[in-house]
Copies of this chain bind each other. A is one copy, B any other.
Amino acid sequence: MTEQSDRPYHHGDLRRAVIETALAMLHEEEGWQFTLREVARRAGVSHAAPYKHFPDKAALLAELALIGFDRLRETLLAALPASAASLRETFLPVARAYVAFGEANPALYRLMFGADAGKPSEVHLSERALSTFAILTDFLARGQEAGLIRERPVPGQAAACWAQLHGLTMLVIDGLLLPEKVGDDAVTAALTTLLEGIEA
């Protein structure tokens, strides 16, 4: 649990340790305003050591965001039902998995969409973000072929779905969909509205 004075001078796998420590801190706080020095402290190294593995803090944040998008992709793919039944039976599990991912990892989810915060140079990151979009695109294209989903240009339809899922997740994380204002299950209601906009 705690590494004391007998810790070797060389950490061994500091890069991974920094990432895992940072991910752990993301789970403890609700925002991603942790400090690099604190990460180094908890990893048991000097505050300068992480700079041997990441050029700066932004690079670590970008790395964490990439991991987040990978995990989201895996979560969505795992939620896809094997058998294609009705649209509700195939789409709702995926949609709920998306929102649940954000609820379970609020700080990470925020970081994924806020780390660059206006730096359009993070090409890697937006490419990875678009893997989410690609999953939706595939899903909708297959649904249209099967006659379950209204025939519309797929990219725009996928953008609509992504926007709905992203907005819903953000509002949930922000605690803005209060039951007393918005009804008992705003998520279900919102997803139902989306369904009614895409079903054949």
Binding site for B on A (CB under 8 A): 29-31, 33, 106-107, 110, 113-114, 116-120, 126, 129-130, 133, 150, 152-153, 155-168, 170-171, 174-178, 181-183, 185-186, 188-198
Would A193 and B182 count as touching, CB distance under 8 A? no
Q: How far is the CA of A177 from the CA of B163 in the complex (A)?
A: 10
Chain B residues positioned under 8 Å from A156 (CB to CB): 182-183, 185-186, 188-190, 192-193
Q: How far is the CA of A120 from the CA of B173 in the complex (A)?
A: 11
Task: Name A160's contact: one of B29, B166, B185, B193 (CB within 8 Å).
Answer: B193
Q: 14 new A-B pairs (CB below 8 Å) besides A156-B183, A157-B193, A159-B168?
A: A33-B117, A107-B118, A129-B174, A130-B181, A133-B176, A152-B192, A160-B190, A160-B193, A162-B171, A163-B164, A163-B168, A163-B190, A164-B194, A166-B170
Would A155 and B167 count as touching, CB distance under 8 A? no
Scoring A107, A157, A176 by chain B CB atoms within 10 A of each residue's CB, the highest score goes to A176
Copies in the complex: 2
Chain B residues positioned under 8 Å from A161 (CB to CB): 193
Would B106 and A176 count as touching, CB distance under 8 A? no
Given contacts A31-B118, A162-B167, A196-B197, contact A155 B181 (CB under 8 A): yes
